[in-house]
Amino acid sequence: MLPDFNRLKVFHHIYALNSIVAAAHKLHLSQPAVSQQLQKLEAELKAPLFTRLHKKLVPTAAGTRLFQIVKPFVENLQEGVESIRQPLDRPSGNLRIGAPKEFGKEFLPQFCHSFRENFPEVTFALKFEEASPLMALLQAGELDFALVDVFQSKGQFLGNPDIFSIDPLIKEELVLACSEKYYQREINGDHSFQNLISKDFLSDEDDLAILMHWFRHYFNKSAPKLNIVLMINSHEALISGIKLGMGMGITSAHLVWTEIGNGSIVPIVTSKKNMVNRISLIQLQDKIPTLTEKTFLTHLQQGMRKPEVLNKFDLASRRV
């Protein structure tokens, strides 16, 4: 049976303040009442929590261990209650947002900053992950909403996709690319299926889903076992590997637009349009958004429609 929560609260203050008198003052209780609560808690636990030395309290090993357990609970409870008490007439409190790693790093901090300029009582907790982990966190209630790659088929989503609402936010073009040096040595204008599948590839996904999707999109064929020379869980490192000439990898065109423009990175193009990845806003269907969520989502959607943001994607679309 769990100890009485009120007694744990009393113990927390006694330990933190190292004084029964100070704890009584903090809790607006009499000193005998606090002493009695401590004695009852020790009886419940069948273990002394303090050694009494001439009006001084010295925590026992059991007391220290109990405080380590109770302290984060009491602090989190206090923070949680304060967040519940946030004003309802203006955005405030903490927003928990998930997003794809590279997209999130490039865009979300600037939107969070500009939002806080108008609503300084809002704080943010950002989680950058792949689609399946983000949707699992969303389903578990650990995110308020997420921005997710949805070029995958429905079956690749974790859980039941019917519980989510999916609203397209923006689309980005994906390209298979390599360094200019690798292109001249290994590709040299031959973009045929047979030539490409014999070359070296880099991937930041364990299941190679995007590479397989690329070959199906352009050639309507499933690629056989590819020669993966670098498997890494960082897209920045994947782009570095591409620049170094290790092989071909898939990336968002806007992330390497400068390098494509100056010729240091070469996209592998065919007669078909580039593969598109749609960044979409994902929420639980039955969730009622708070004022803070609705206001920030409006801010985000308006921000993503600004010319300086759209141009990052449109330039790649027109020129790649």
Bridge pairing between strands 227-231 and 145-149: unpaired
pLDDT at position 152: 45
Tell me the whole-structure pTM to 2 decimals: 0.62
Q: Grade residue 159 by pLDDT with cuts at 50, 70 and 90.
A: very low
Output the CATH code of domain 5-84: 1.10.10.10
Same fold, 93-171+277-319 and 173-276: yes
CA separation for the pair 33, 43 (Å, rounded) = 15
**Strand partners for 53:** 56
Arithmetic mean of pLDDT, 45-57: 86
Angle, alpha carbons 284-286-290 (nearest 5°): 80
pLDDT at position 56: 81
Amino acid (one-letter) located at 289: P
- Tracing tokens 């690749």 back to the chain, one arrives at 156
Average the pLDDT over each of 124-128, 135-139, 296-300 and give the range with the smallest value: 135-139
- Name the H helices within 20-130: 20-27, 31-45, 61-84, 101-118
Q: Which CATH class is domain 173-276?
A: alpha beta
pLDDT at position 25: 93
Taking a C-beta distance cutoff of 8 angstroms, is the pair 17, 26 a contact?
yes
Closest to 158 (Cα-Cα) out of 140, 132, 178 = 132
Average pLDDT, the chain: 86
**Residue 131 to residues 98, 101, 165, 279, 289: CA-CA distances in angstroms?**
9, 10, 14, 10, 21
Bridge pairing between strands 265-267 and 164-179: antiparallel
Taking a C-beta distance cutoff of 8 angstroms, is the pair 146, 98 a contact?
yes
- Tracing tokens 């690319």 back to the chain, one arrives at 177
Average the pLDDT over each of 62-76, 192-206, 304-318 and give the range with the smallest value: 304-318
Q: Grade residue 1 by pLDDT with cuts at 50, 70 and 90.
A: low
Arithmetic mean of pLDDT, 22-35: 92
Q: Decide which of 151 and 49 is more confident.
A: 49
* CATH 3.40.190.10 holds for 93-171+277-319: yes
Q: Grade residue 75 by pLDDT with cuts at 50, 70 and 90.
A: confident
Q: Where are the domains of the chain?
A: 5-84, 93-171+277-319, 173-276
Q: Decide which of 95 and 83 is more confident.
A: 95
- Phi, psi (rounded to 5 degrees) for 48: -70, 140
